[in-house]
Amino acid sequence: MSHESTGGPWSRDRLRHEVTRSSREFCVLFYPGPDQAINPEGCVVIEDCGDRVQVYYSERGRREERWFADEPTAIEYVVRRHLWWEYVPLSDAVRQFVGKGTSPFPRLHPDEVLAEFGPEVLTRVQALVREIEAAPVDWSHGLSAAADAAADGIRSRHPDLADYAIDALRWYVSYVWR
């Protein structure tokens, strides 16, 4: 069964819907907010830190810390990784490789991806970057439309990539093509 069948934007409402559909006990806390009074032990925490959103699992301290540019991207990661139990190394590696969520503009980080994900994942990420860079470009509607079209092409050819990875590649190529 495809998890994508529920569709809809990645929001707190969709997160609640996915948790309700699941047969698992699942705890997600949002900071700042009323959840701050709850002990986070055993919960996934989505924390708005102003310009970025941090996600971590709390079990005897913080585990699996990840940074995202916005809440919808963080929620997508939480649903995929912690509720659906998808292992998403390629999508995470794409984000890390181009610096999405950690840098104000794209910068390639091959050494970080190699250290965390290994040579096979690094090779796949580099191939995805080359693929989006080589996408045919129709400049008649501007840079944003060209980057959207390139991202849509990647999405159709690589349905295994999470939306946040596609967004990171679009962000990267719109910077490179400017």
Q: Are 22 and 16 in contact (CB under 8 A)?
A: no
Q: Are residues 72 and 111 in the same domain?
A: no
Which two three-digit tokens encode residue 84?
């659906």
Q: Does 130 lie in the same domain as 143?
A: yes
Predicted pLDDT of residue 7: 62
Give the pLDDT of residue 54.
84
According to the model, what pLDDT value does residue 29 have? Answer: 81
Same domain, 93 and 79: no
Q: Which residues, 6+ apart, have CB-to-CB distance to 107 below 8 Å?
A: 98, 99
80 lies in the same domain as 109: no
Same domain, 113 and 140: yes
Question: pLDDT by residue (tens digit) across 160-175?
Answer: 788 889 999 999 999 9
| Claim to verify: residue 67 and residue 127 sit in the same structural domain | no
Do 153 and 135 sit in the same domain of this protein? yes
**Domain span including residue 71:** 1-86
**Residue 52 confidence (pLDDT) above 90:** no
pLDDT (tens digit per residue) in 68-81: 888 998 888 888 77
CA distance 94 to 76: 15
What average pLDDT does range 5-28 have in this prediction?
78
Domain end point (choices 64, 86, 108): 86
| Helix count and strand count (H, E) for the chain | 7, 4
